[in-house]
Structure 1
Amino acid sequence: MFRLHLGNTPHSLSDADLRQLAHKTRGYSGADISVIVRDALMQPVRKVQSATHFKKVPGPSRSNIQVTVDDLLTPCSPGDPAAIELTWMDVPSDKLLEPIVCMSDMLRSLSTTRPTVNTEDLLKVKKFTDDFGMEG
């Protein structure tokens, strides 16, 4: 489900991360997982907006993705040795390298999203299926 909702969005989630997320979301509906992923997809934007420091990193040029440039700016910790004090409003749009979605983004979103389906509801669905079969 997580892979489906992530679609083509760049992320650093491994298969093990996705299995861990699946384990942590037992009892969550597909819609609940969709909410978690949508919120996690916004975490990099929040990182950019709340950042007080950025650092220069290499990455694909905005005008030609075949070319690598070394002057893109990405959010970093104020304690990073390469940190430059800036807000996202100070960063030219063609120089911003947004962070990709990572496991900590997913876990942060998961911590604030509760399942909308409870155990009682799941038992009712199971009983219905047992009584009437899959076709109803």
Structure 2
Amino acid sequence: MSQGKGACRRIRGPSRTNPNVIVDDLLTPCSPGDPAAIEMTWVDVPSDKLLEPVVCMSDMLRSQATTRPTVNAEDLNKVKKFTEDFGQEG
């Protein structure tokens, strides 16, 4: 989830404090369109209730194909100039 509003849904899974106990109140990120979605930010989710989704290679490849760079050529030129002027350690 991003820092803005996202969505989670309640799921059943192993307790975060005792994996031998199954609980019904864990939260996992979901699409806002999920019928069971609860609107919340990631900071609203108690750490002992978060069940991270399993991420597989196809998830990573799909993300890589749709994610745009956050650094442009001008930014890279500024870093290069800084390194030339001050060295890697600054």
Is this a same-fold pair by TM over 0.5? yes
Q: Greater relative contact order: 1 or 2 (C-alpha under 8 angstroms, separation 6 or more)?
A: 1
Q: Which amino acid aligns with 2:33?
A: G
CA RMSD of aligned residues (A): 2.0
Query: What are the ranges of 5 or more consecutive residues in structure 1 without an aligned counterpart?
Result: 1-47, 113-136
Q: Which has the higher strand share?
A: 2
Distance 1:109 1:81, change over 3 A: closer
| Consecutive aligned runs of 4 or more in structure 1 exceeding 4 Å deviation | none
Residue matched to 2:45: 91
More helix by share: 1
Instruction: Return the match for 1:65 from 19, 34, 57.
Output: 19
Stretches of structure 2 that go unaligned for 5 or more consecutive residues are: 68-90
Q: TM-score normalized by structure 1?
A: 0.43
Residue 60 and residue 79 in structure 1: after superposition, are their counterparts in 2 closer, same or farther (change >3 A)? same
Per the TM alignment, residue 79 of structure 1 is displaced from its structure 2 partner at its CA by: 1.1
Measure how far apart 1:49 and its partner are: 3.5
Question: What TM-score do you get using the length of structure 2 for normalisation?
Answer: 0.62
What number of residue pairs does the alignment pair up?
Answer: 65
Percent identity between the aligned chains? 69
